[in-house]
Structure 1
Amino acid sequence: MYSSVDTLWVLLGAVLVFFMQAGFAMVETGFTRAKNAGNIIMKNLMDFCLGSAVFWILGFGLMFGVGAEGQTNPFVGFVDFFVQREYGSSFPTPAFLIFQTVFCATAATIVSGAMAERTKFISYCLYSVVISALVYPISGHWIWGGGWLSSLGFHDFAGSTAVHMVGGVAAFWGAKRIGVRIGKYDENGKARAIPGHSLTLGALGVFILWFCWFGFNGGSTVSLTGDDTIVSAASIFVTTNLAAAFAAIATMLYTWIRYKKPDVSMTLNGALAGLVGITAGCDAVTPMGAAAIGLICGVMVVISVEFFEKVARIDDPVGAISVHGICGALGTLLVGLFAQEGGLFYGGGFSLLGIQSLGVASVVLWVSVTMSLLFLLIEKTVGLRVSRAEEVAGLDLEEHGIISSYADFMPAVPSVLGSVSASAEQAIPVVHVPPQKTPSRQAPMTKIVIVSRQSKFNELKHALNEIGVMGLTVTQVMGCGMQKGNKEYYRGVPVSMTLLPKMQVETVVSKVPVRAVIEAAKKALYTGHIGDGKIFVYTVDNVIKVRTGEEGYDALQDEIISE
């Protein structure tokens, strides 16, 4: 007889863990460059879709499969193609299947960020199939499927090792095999910062993941009937939240001391590090223990990111190796210290800590052997990395034919002059006339280009309208001038150049004095800080108005057309 409460609890957990895919997609997209955003999203979509298929066909059986008479194997589950046997207890088998499927997809998607911006899409799909069908299920069987680690008393409640460390170790071998992104290191081997294009997306992803982690950890009770399980689930919510909060605080303070400014992207990673670290022991530690685990992981993630980037020279754009691999292992080991039952700090001796260490080491060895061989095989066959030209152009264009994931995402600037419609037959015939010097009786024609902060555009437009400049061409651009002063850091690495969003306003004047335009622009844009903008002045030989065929001074004169 199934329990409706337990079934709903497991399904709710599955839904929340499924939504973690959106969180990972946002974090990875935000921490990488815009030219690869579509590729990141496609990989996150496909590793879930491919993983769902192969885990149902093969992986679930290797992880949880039992023999015809209910017997188990300590190293690998019995093959059960398409999940034909019954595995439920207080909930039906399909509920258990979908719950475990989304956990498998979480492990698979971790690698996407570490290998971002340079991996062939077909190669990533092959990796996703193998880790979901074979690598994750076999080590998962050792821990959760009645395997040898489970029989020893290895404690990994919701997957610091089974899910996150597996993904983190795979990410390490993938990033190591594929190599660093173009321009990541200078000729002296010093790391260069390659900032992601949207911290806003990254933050959104972190909050989505934090929200979903309550289902990831809390749902792993797979029951919500009886006082014990109700109290356990509530306690897990508390320990999960505290670990993430204290980890983010620790990262913020540590980077503030180390870089003289609190690092935003690193602090976002810190929150995730705390979530990963508490996942193994969220049911076994006190709130105080959870806070301690969060503090340790929050500092460790910064040290780890710097080590892999500056010492090991492993290019991991999103910090997946450090967040999931290092903090997954660390969180599992800390269970041996902070667990209320068996933890060293609670009088349990070194027994649990030794078992936790053995479990971490064995899973690291298993994933390292299989994934290093897999990435080597892929590299030697279909190839692992895109060409240099493809990487420079961006994987959105080269792998998926997308010019930009943000097509038409430009601010609409209302026309000052309004608009009219006319048929093509009304167009003035085009006749080539050699440019003539502006007659002395007419004012010279001058093109003025103004580059300004986006926030100052409306003030600039109003100031130009006030002096009679009615025709503007406005473009959103990216650029930087000479940047002096304090160094800018991204994830602890100095940024050599930052392209900032600017507004470029162009106008050609003849009747309005050039000096009046310049003074109006300066008055509207001036703040006294670096980045106020620049004004460029050019001489114009000739102007032709398409609608009337007028040239020179006359082409610049017009009446405002009422709508």
Structure 2
Amino acid sequence: MDIEQQVVEVAYALDTFYFLMAGALVMWMAAGFTMLEAGMVRTKSVAEILTKNISLYSIASVMYMLIGYNIMYSDGLTSLIPGLGFFITGDNAVSEVLGSGGDIYYSDRADFFFQVVFVATAMSIVSGAVAERMKLWAFLAFAVVLTGVIYPIQGFWSWGGGMLDQIGYLDYAGSGIVHFTGAVAALAGVLLLGARKGKYGKDGRINAIPGSSMPLATLGVLILWLGWFGFNGGSELKVSDVESANAVAAVFTNTNLAAAGGVIAALITTRLMFGKADLTMALNGAIAGLVSITAEPMMPSPLLATFIGAVGGVIVVFSIVALDKVKIDDPVGAISAHGTAGIWGVLAVLLSNPDATFVAQIAGLAAIFVFVFLASLLVWFILKMAMGIRLGEEEEELGADVTECGLEAYPEFTNK
């Protein structure tokens, strides 16, 4: 074996290992979403939240293997069946794609693993928004369709070489493709589902429903913050040359600063609006900052990245307040942190990427919204007619833990 071949093999091994470790970091975000949601809901719904999150990740993994991956990275729906051979035979082909540093070689298995944790992230966003009043099995049935069909179709449009890619829509790691998609699917479900009992008074009053554990919620956000380095950093796809290594360093730095900017801006905004430092808004500020930088984390300067995250932190506060005023009940603020901030993130690409155009970015957002909203609304409606999607009044009062899971997360406290 000559020196050149050895260099290629070392680069292949390094890039594949980096890809896998980035995917593992993104998988750890499942724990972050789980802890965030568990902390933001009431004690009587925590076990059901835990069940939903570990189940949705498992469903996403299997459905993306069976259907979703081939829809997203082939010719859309046209070559669905032939593509199944990769997973049936166990072939471990080598992918070649063109990246910022030149040709990138890595295992197809590594590519699949990295992509599957993204689709699980989109579904995790839905989980928090519909918490405390949705039937568990209706939620899991929707997870099958979103992760197997809805997400991969719109993902193909951008990352699979489809129509949005062809018109120049740019979304580096998925502010629109992942986060906005999850938020739009959640919005469709929330509109059909309605608000939690007692959330909104007949006189127009908005009643706060405190979560069970702010320490858990804070831990969840810090886990998400860590996992996001894999989410954005892994999207560079390689690290085996100077250019790509420097790009990854820029992505990590900007991702971190955007989250920090989001927290600070959300804290200042809530202090000015409410006279208090609202922890829940600060947590959503971190997520909004992360979502905002995800569409283009490589090109902004550190100062611009901080600004992009800070704008996301301000936007998320106003969005959460606005949704409450129109009686859209989102227990964890997911629609605002991932949806409203996702819109800003896609548009913020224009601030640093000279190849981005306003028309293409708006067209991408519009296409994703229309397709995902209508498809999700249809699926939610069919589920509502077929099996019901909302717990009964008595079941909701008792809590999803007892009625859906037959156990409680904190029995020592709830049985006293």
For the criterion TM > 0.5, the same-fold answer is yes
The 5-angstrom pairing of residues 346-361 of structure 1 reads: 352-361=357-366
Structure 2 Cα separation of the partners of residues 114 and 222 of structure 1: 31
Equivalence for 2:172: 157
Q: Deviation per CA, 1:448-507, whole angstroms, max 9, x where unpaired?
A: xxxxxxxxxxxxxxxxxxxxxxxxxxxx97xxxxxxxxxxxxxxxxxxxxxxxxxxxxxx
| 2:31 alignment counterpart | 22
Which residue of structure 2 aligns with residue 211 of structure 1?
A: 226
Shift of 1:82: 5.6
Give the Cα separation in 1 of the matches to 2:139 and 2:60.
12
CA distance in 2, matches of 1:78, 1:64: 10
Matched, 1:383 2:383: no
CA distance, structure 2, for counterparts of residue 339 and residue 202 of structure 1: 33
Paired residues for 1:56-455 under 5 Å: 56-65=65-74, 73=75, 76=77, 78-79=79-80, 80-81=83-84, 83-84=86-87, 86=93, 88-89=95-96, 90-310=105-325, 312-336=326-350, 338-342=351-355, 352-402=357-407, 404-408=408-412
Structure 1 counterpart of 2:201, which letter? D
- Provide closer, same or farther for how the CA distance between residues 341 and 303 of structure 1 changes in structure 2, counting only shifts above 3 A: same
Aligned to 2:100: none
In structure 2, the residue corresponding to 1:83 is in which secondary structure? helix
Separation of aligned partners in 1, 2:94 and 2:291: 27
**C-alpha distance in 2 between matches for 1:282 and 1:87:** 27
Equivalent pair of 1:6/1:91 in contact (CA under 8 Å): yes
Distance in 1 between the 2:94 and 2:361 partners? 27
- CA deviations on 1:275-324 (whole Å, 9 max, x unpaired) are 011000102222122111111111000010011111x2110000000001
Are 1:34 and 2:43 matched, yes or no?
Answer: yes
Which has more radius of gyration?
A: 1
CA contact (8 A) 1:269 1:323 kept: yes
SS in 1 for 2:84: coil
1:178 & 1:261 partners in 2: Cα distance? 31
Report the CA distance shift for 1:162/1:82 in structure 2 as closer, same or farther (over 3 A).
Answer: farther
| Residue deviations 1:6-50 (CA, integer Å, cap 9, x gap) | 001000011000010000000111000010000001000111111
Structure 1 residue 76: Cα displacement: 4.9
- Opposite residue 212 of structure 1, the aligned amino acid is G
Matched letter for residue 104 of structure 1: V
In structure 2, C-alpha distance between the alignment counterparts of 1:37 and 1:240, rounded to whole Å: 30
1:399 Cα deviation after fit: 0.6
Q: Report the structure, 1 or 2, having the larger helix content.
A: 2
Residue type of the partner of 2:217?
A: G
Q: Distance in 1 between matches of 2:126 and 2:260?
A: 25
Q: Distance in 2 between matches of 1:187 and 1:152?
A: 48
Task: Give the secondary structure class of the aligned counterpart of 1:88.
Answer: strand
With 123-132 and 151-160 compared, the bigger mean Cα shift is at: 151-160
- Are the equivalent residues in 1 in contact too, given 2:95–2:107 (CA < 8 A)? yes
* Deviation, structure 1 residue 64: 0.3
Contact between 1:57 and 1:83, CA under 8 Å: does it hold in 2?
no
Change (3 A) 1:24 1:82: farther
Answer yes or no: is the 8 Å Cα contact 1:77–1:145 preserved in 2: no
1:12 to 17, 21, 25: 21
Query: AA paired with 1:264?
Result: L
TM-score, normalised relative to structure 2? 0.92
Q: CA deviation at 1:408?
A: 3.5
Please report how far the alpha carbon of residue 189 of structure 1 lies from its aligned counterpart in structure 2 after TM superposition. Answer: 2.5
Q: Which residue of 2 aligns with 1:43?
A: 52
Confirm or deny: 8 A CA contact 1:60 1:83 kept in the other structure: no
Quick one: which amino acid aligns to residue 406 of structure 1? Y
Measure the CA separation in 1 of the matches of 2:413 and 2:204. Answer: 37
SS at 1:91 equivalent: strand
C-alpha distance in structure 1 between counterparts of 2:323 and 2:62, whole Å: 34
The AA in structure 2 aligned to 1:78 is S
Higher relative contact order (CA 8 A, sep 6+): 2
TM-score, normalization by structure 1: 0.68
**Cα deviation 1:84-105 (Å, max 9, x = unaligned):** 5746231111111111111111
Distance 2:227 2:328 in 1: 29
For 2:343 and 2:276, the matched residues in 1 are separated by: 29
What are the superposed Cα offsets for residues 196-217 of structure 1, whole Å, 9 maximum, x if unpaired? 0111100000000000100100
TM-aligned CA deviation for residue 378 of structure 1: 0.6
CA displacement, residues 353-373 of structure 1 (integer Å, 9 cap, x when unaligned): 221111011101110110011
1:146 aligned counterpart, secondary structure: coil
Say how many residue pairs are matched. 393
* Aligned mates of 1:385, 1:321 — CA distance in 2: 19
Once residues 307 and 178 of structure 1 are traced to their aligned partners in structure 2, the CA distance between those partners, rounded to angstroms, is 19
Among all aligned residue pairs of Structure 1 and Structure 2, give the percentage whose two residues are the same amino acid.
39
Give the whole-Å Cα distance in 2 for the aligned partners of 1:260 and 1:317.
Answer: 22
Counterpart residue type for residue 316 of structure 1: D
Q: Which moved more, 1:96-105 or 1:183-192?
A: 183-192
How far is the alpha carbon of 1:340 from its aligned partner?
4.0
Q: Flag structure 1 segments of 5+ consecutive residues without an equivalent.
A: 66-72, 344-351, 411-475, 478-563
CA apart distance, 1:234: 0.1
User: Aligned partners of 2:149 and 2:78: how far apart in 1?
Assistant: 11
8 Å contact from structure 2 (residues 94, 106) kept in 1: no
